[in-house]
């Protein structure tokens, strides 16, 4: 990715992340709302982190990278304080395969 494209992509993702982190669910929010927020926040941070190696050490990105670090910490604190919501997400990815029906037929 060229330097201007990298910068523009990073700026766009940071704009999305800023909106997500400004809409942090309240303590009274449902587990479903909290789980959805966690998935969105983790997803956007994953995309941002893919770009960070190309931005490290470049002038003009220090403040933005510091904000990304703050978002990471915010996400981890939110996940830790909302273990039920995180559990609802994590159980979707457990290795247990109990009661999962076999699929038949051709797969596209």
pLDDT per residue over 8-20, tens digit each? Answer: 999 999 999 999 9
- pLDDT at residue 40 in the model: 97
**For 18-35, how does the pLDDT look when each residue is reduced to its tens digit (9 = 90+)?**
999 999 999 899 989 999
Q: What is the mean pLDDT of residues 51-57?
A: 87
Task: For residue 18, give Cα distances in angstroms to 12, 53, 95.
Answer: 10, 20, 33
- pLDDT at residue 59 in the model: 84
- pLDDT at residue 55 in the model: 86
**For 80-96, how does the pLDDT look when each residue is reduced to its tens digit (9 = 90+)?**
888 766 666 666 666 66
Q: Return the closest-CA partner of residue 38 out of 91, 94, 89, 92.
A: 89
**For 35-47, how does the pLDDT look when each residue is reduced to its tens digit (9 = 90+)?**
999 999 999 999 9
- pLDDT at residue 104 in the model: 57
Domain boundaries, the chain: 3-92
DSSP-H helix ranges across 23-56: 31-55
């Amino acid at each position: 990715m060229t330097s201007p494209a990298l910068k523009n992509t990073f700026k766009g993702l940071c704009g999305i992340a800023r909106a997500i982190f400004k809409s942090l669910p309240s303590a009274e929010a449902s587990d479903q709302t909290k789980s959805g927020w966690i998935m969105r926040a983790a997803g956007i941070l994953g995309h941002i982190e893919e770009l960070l190696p190309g931005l490290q050490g470049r002038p003009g990105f220090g403040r933005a990278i510091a904000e990304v670090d703050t978002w990471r910490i915010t996400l981890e604190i939110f996940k830790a304080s909302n273990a039920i919501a995180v559990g609802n997400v994590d159980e979707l990815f457990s290795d247990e395969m109990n009661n999962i029906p076999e699929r038949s037929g051709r797969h596209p």
